[in-house]
Amino acid sequence: MFNNYGQSYQEQRMQQLMEQKQMKDFMRMYSNLVGRCFDDCVSDFTSNKLSEKELSCTNRCTLKNMKLNERVGQRFAEETMPGENPPSLPPNFDTASFPKLQNDLYLRAARGEKTERAPVWCMRQAGRYLPEFRAIRVEHDFFRVCRTPELATEVTIQPLRRYAGLLDAAIIFSDILVVPQAMGMQVEMVPGKGPHFPDPLRDPHDVSRLVDLEEGFSVDKELDYVYKAITNTRHALQGQVPLLGFAGAPWTLMAYMIEGGGSKTFALAKTWLFKHPEAARQLLSRIADVVAVYLVGQVRAGAQALQLFESWAGELGPADFAQFSLPYLSRIAAFVKQKAPHVPLTVFAKGAHYALEQLALSPFDVISLDWTIDPREARRRVDEACAGLSKKVVLQGNLDPTLLFGSPDVIRKRTEEMCRAFGSAHIANLGHGMMPTHDPEHLRVFLESVHAASKTS
């Protein structure tokens, strides 16, 4: 299933559900696909009231050239208790050899080498904006997808299948909050709300609940499902593009663990920094140790590049970033570079423009920028910081994700401006992740525009 880029998981799964008369599950996937109420879809199927557009969509995604609505109506009436998903192609967890890489544009750019154009990929390029992802989520909750290597593989390659030839990297489908889970915390993904910690760390005494210092604790054992997903995905990609691994950075993870989810003020997490600074440093240190081992494990599993997400960096001022974020970012990067010096390492410290110089002098190879800084200014400051050194820092970014809500002409124009601002050496990306309400075809416009605007003679 996962090696077939011509047919999606959604198409194959709906076909299987039809053949097995599991029509309730079929209808859930279909209603998600067309964005309509489950009960209305059932009624229309059984009474042959589907619109021409919906029939076209259904035929394209499932059984072409058949009177599908009649078969669905008949089989829905014959519905039996749905069973477990049938097994797909067996997963491949062999790390001894992988398919030969065909497109190394991203890796060359991340190492500072000259490329014929800017490589492009997008944060959250696999996710809720894709109807094929939503179809999987009908049957599986978020963390089940993360914890099931075959599902994580399928979701990872969905954008590669949809945007064939346009993306220059894949990023493994997972979540930064698998690290707090590995350390013993419960994390739920609540629809419409996001991550939720039922029992957050409210004061330093609560840290005793974490298990990372207990005898027998193993990062690799706790997060082996991510490693398996990475290995399986490397094989499924068949060398089309490199595969990126990632993790959340200590300050961002600590903020989630204390706040219990997202926050507008981060008052609880910042209280730790200013009221319990030593306890905060100890917790940050423990998280850093887990993340460092986790990233190296991803490389062993097959990740060809890594990105560290300090998503809440901008919630800290310069002095606090220098004390409670930067040392742990640098510590992780140094550990990874010692164990895997050949693997490009990117840092995304969203909102921390004041720290560009410090990040440039850290062990990271690539700095990813959000959309609120001019790439020309970033390039100048980074180059000045590294003047006299042999180090060449690559920049990544940084189109405002909300521009994808604009018209195709606006997207093309602003993407061209972004590419010109970066100049010749950069990795094209958004300034943050894809949003659930983005039109997938508008991402295609962005990707095509990068290809056209960044070519070098």
Q: Would you please indicate which residues are annotated as catalytic (active-site) residues?
A: 124, 128, 137, 175, 256
- Position 135: which residue type? A
DSSP state of 120: B
Residues 6+ away with beta carbon under 8 Å from 396: 346, 348, 366, 367, 368, 369, 426, 427, 428, 429
CA–chain centroid gap for 365, Å, is 20
Burial class (CB in 10 A: 0-12, 13-18, 19+), 235: buried
Torsion of Cα atoms, 162 then 166 then 169 then 173, to 10°? -20
The CA distance from 20 to 22, in Å, is: 5
Residues 6+ away with beta carbon under 8 Å from 110: 305, 344, 346, 365, 366, 394, 427
The CA distance from 140 to 110, in Å, is: 35
Q: Give the pair of three-digit tokens for residue 181.
A: 């889970």
The CA distance from 445 to 413, in Å, is: 11
Phi, psi of 368 (to 5 degrees): -90, 130
* CA proximity to 291, closest of 324, 258, 245, 240: 245
* CA proximity to 401, closest of 128, 124, 193, 109: 124
Residues 6+ away with beta carbon under 8 Å from 162: 130, 132, 440
Residues 6+ away with beta carbon under 8 Å from 264: none
Helix axes 38-46, 68-77, angle to 10 degrees: 110
Q: Pairing relation of β-strands 345-349 and 394-399?
A: unpaired
